[in-house]
Structures are given as structure tokens and as C-alpha cells.
């Protein structure tokens, strides 16, 4: 019925799956992701050997694991990007339900690895962080609910998605993982805004976030310590933020040279949360700008293609995934330069982390699937036809 009303773009009958996938995929986004992964491997070679030696491993132990996890992430990305939107939605629903059950089980079976927050399951050979896999599934499920609410006699999807968001944020805050909680809330807020939420409600939501932050500050010593450290006019040079700030300052425009950086000797999270400090110290501002440009390519290309999409579900889900990808990168780099309080968030496809890499591959695969060129025509074509009548 949709094609009878709006018409279609000619489709190549009998075209094999791989050529059709290659013809319709956003190759710029794929290239940017691959470059980010390569940069992550190079930075891992520079940042992880001191930690490997400290823990009694071979010098490139963490780089080898990152390469394995990265290969799995890239395979997951390609396979997911080949799916049709309805199959992506089904995958997201199943993934969300499994991840949500795993999230609820963390207080009983999870571990904190001595970091003060129970966020992981220890598998012996690796660890699993359910919140990383929860995010893409949550975005797609919320987009599905919001899109359904726009239909005639549709369900109250916006209200249901809001209730789901509050439940997830509560579970994340109990770990505590306020960074992921804010990321989930931000992703939902972006989709709600795109779906047509009134500005008054968005302002009320911002007020609730401030109230919740004040409550967390008064109730959580972990949260209060990080906020106090961020607001302090002086940076303790022996803290992670102090080491990272000094490394970025020392790197200058061109860096101190490959392998010559010192921050990796002091930072326990140099290969994860503060990988950008290693990049800034050894390769300089030039490398950091390249990394920022690659993230911008992924986000801008995706949003431009989504602006031409006429399916409300695809527009909402793609926008949520793209903006969540962008804000995670911004938060990680913002913490390193002390624009934001410490969050414990990885830099997508660059930082070390199995859960982060594989979940990121699935999320970007979903984004690529949503931004593929499809034969039903773009929203601009529809508006042009209507104007011509």
C-alpha cells in the first residue's frame, strides 16, 4: 500500500546479497570505524605494555585480546548491517531482554574488580559488562514504542519508553554507574525530542536530572568524590586526571614521539578510559583532531542519511544510536581534558574492552542497517511529489 501511494525507486531484481549490501551501505561510515579500530590498536601498542608487565603478562597481552575482540566486533557489525530493519528490531528486543536480566543479576553474581562499582560478570578468561549490550537494544526498543505511539489508536509508547528508561537508570545507578545512566537518559531524550516532545517537558526532565544528581551527591560517596575533584580549582598531579592533564599538556601539537610518553607508566586505565591522553602525549593534537574528525564523519553522515528517511521507527532508532555513539566519545575525551567529571567510559572502538568493542560493533551495525539506501524512496521524494500535485 505504501508503494502504491508514494511510488518506489527501481530495485535490481535477483541481485545477490553481498553486492546489494555493498551498494547500499554508507562506505564513509564503515571506513571511519575501521580507521578508529586501527588507531585503537596502535594506541594499545603504546599504552598497554606497562600494565601487562605489572600484571605478569606478555608485553602485548592486552593488544592481542583487543585484536581478537575487535575482529569479533567487526564481524558482528558487518553481519548486523546486512539485516533488514525489522530483523534488526527483533535482534534488539532479544538482546535487550537478555541484557536486562543480566543487569538485574549483577548485585548477586557480579563483581567490581576492586573498582568500587559492581558492573561486570567475571568469566575467567574475560569479563562481561551487561550495560554495554543493553544500550543498543534499549534505543531500538524505545524507538519502536515511540513510533508505534504515532499511529492511529497506537499504544502509549512514549509513556512506556519513559517508564522503561527510569527502571534502567535506577538499576545502573545502584551499581553505581552514573555515566551509563546519563548516557541512556540522553539517548532516550534525543529520541523523545525528535518524536515531537514539547519543550516544557524536556525542561522538566532536565530539572529532574539536576534533582537526581543532587540526591546522588548527598547519598553516594563515590559520586561526591568525583564531583568534588572536578570542581576543585587545583588538580592533584598524582590522580588520574592530574596525570592525563599533564600528558596532554606535554604532547603539544606534534607529540613527544612514538613510545616516548610517560603517562602510560602512571595511569592504570591508560589503555581504556584515558587512551586519548596517550594519543595526545605521544602523537600530539594532530592525532586527537584526526580521531575527533572520524567520529564526526560517522555521526554527521548517519544523521544526514536519516534526515532523508521516511520511516519514523528508522529515523528515531538511527538518531538515538548515532547520538549515543557521539556523546560517549565526547564524554570520554571531555573527562581527559577535565571538561567533565570522571565517568569511567570507554572511547568507542579505540579503548581496550571486550564488552565495549563487541557491543559497539553491534550498535554501529544497527546504525549502518538503518542508514542503508532502500528502494522505497526518500522523504524528500515524497514531499516533491506532493508539491507537484
Q: Please name the residues in contact with 206: beta carbons below 8 A apart, sequence gap of 6 or more.
A: none
pLDDT score for 3: 40
Rounded to the nearest integer, the mean pLDDT of the chain is: 85
Could you give the CA distance from residue 341 to residue 240 in angstroms, rounded to a whole number?
12
Mean pLDDT, to the nearest integer, of 113-118? 76
Distance CA 95, CA 73 (A): 15
17/75: higher pLDDT:
75
Q: CA 243, 246, 247: angle at the middle one, nearest 5?
A: 85
Q: Where are the domains of the chain?
A: 17-375
Contact 308, 279 (CB under 8 A): no
> What confidence tens digit (pLDDT) does each residue in 198-207 have?
777 778 877 8
DSSP labels for 107-168? HHH-B-TTSSS--BEE-SSSEE-HHHHHHHHHHHHHHHHHHHHTSTT---HHHHHHHHHHHH
- The set of residues, in sequence order, having a beta carbon less than 8 Å from that of 187 and lying 6+ positions away, is 135, 138, 139, 142, 320, 321, 323, 324, 327
What the block records as the C-alpha cell of 256 is: 613527544
Nearest partner of 223 among 185, 181, 188, judged by Cα: 181
* Residue 325 pLDDT grade (very low, low, confident, very high; cuts 50, 70, 90): very high
Q: Can you tell me the distance from the alpha carbon of 321 to that of 326, in angstroms, rounded to the nearest whole number?
A: 9
pLDDT digits (tens, 9 = 90+) for 263-310: 888 777 778 888 998 999 999 999 999 999 999 999 999 999 999 888
3-state secondary structure of 385: helix
Amino acid at each position: 500500500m505504501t508503494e502504491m501511494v508514494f511510488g518506489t525507486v527501481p530495485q535490481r531484481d535477483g541481485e545477490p546479497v553481498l553486492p546489494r549490501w555493498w551498494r547500499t551501505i554508507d562506505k564513509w561510515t564503515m571506513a571511519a570505524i575501521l580507521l578508529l579500530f586501527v588507531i585503537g590498536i596502535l594506541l594499545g601498542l603504546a599504552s598497554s605494555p606497562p600494565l601487562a608487565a605489572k600484571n605478569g603478562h606478555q608485553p602485548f597481552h592486552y593488544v592481542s585480546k583487543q585484536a581478537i575482540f575487535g575482529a569479533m566486533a567487526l564481524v558482528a557489525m558487518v553481519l548486523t548491517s546486512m539485516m533488514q530493519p525489522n530483523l534488526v528490531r527483533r535482534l534488539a528486543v532479544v538482546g535487550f531482554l537478555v541484557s536486562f536480566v543480566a543487569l538485574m543479576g549483577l548485585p548477586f553474581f557480579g563483581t567490581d574488580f576492586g573498582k568500587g562499582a559492581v558492573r561486570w560478570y567475571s568469566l575467567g578468561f574475560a569479563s562481561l559488562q551487561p550495560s554495554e549490550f543493553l544500550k543498543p537494544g534499549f534505543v531500538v526498543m524505545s524507538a519502536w514504542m515511540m513510533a508505534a505511539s504515532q499511529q492511529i489508536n497506537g499504544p502509549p509508547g512514549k509513556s512506556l519508553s519513559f517508564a522503561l528508561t527510569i527502571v534502567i537508570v535506577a538499576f545502573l545507578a545502584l551499581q553505581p554507574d552514573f555515566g551509563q545512566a546519563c548516557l541512556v537518559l540522553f539517548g532516550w531524550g534525543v529520541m523523545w525530542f525528535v518524536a515531537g516532545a514539547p519543550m516544557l517537558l524536556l525542561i522538566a526532565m532536565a530539572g529532574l536530572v539536576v534533582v537526581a544528581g543532587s540526591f546522588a551527591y548527598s547519598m553516594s560517596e563515590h559520586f561526591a568524590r568525583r564531583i568534588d575533584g572536578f570542581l576543585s580549582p587545583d588538580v592533584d598531579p598524582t590522580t588520574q586526571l592530574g596525570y592525563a592533564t599533564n600528558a596532554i599538556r606535554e604532547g603539544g601539537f606534534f607529540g613527544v614521539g612514538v613510545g616516548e610518553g610517560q603517562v602510560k607508566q602512571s595511569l592504570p586505565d591508560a589503555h581504556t578510559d584515558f587512551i586519548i591522553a596517550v594519543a595526545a602525549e605521544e602523537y600530539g593534537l594532530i592525532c586527537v583532531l584526526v580521531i575527533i574528525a572520524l567520529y564526526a564523519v560517522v555521526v554527521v553522515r548517519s544523521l544526514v542519511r536519516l534526515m532523508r528517511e521516511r520511516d519514523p521507527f528508522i529515523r528515531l532508532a538511527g538518531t538515538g544510536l548515532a547520538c549515543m555513539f557521539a556523546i560517549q566519545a565526547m564524554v570520554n575525551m571531555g573527562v581527559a581534558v577535565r571538561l567533565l567529571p570522571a565517568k569511567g567510559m570507554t572511547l568507542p572502538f579505540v579503548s581496550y574492552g571486550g564488552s565495549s568493542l563487541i557491543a559497539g560493533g553491534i550498535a554501529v551495525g544497527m546504525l549502518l542497517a538503518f542508514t542503508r539506501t532502500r528502494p522505497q524512496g526518500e522523504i524528500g521524494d515524497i514531499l516533491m511529489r506532493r508539491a507537484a500535485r
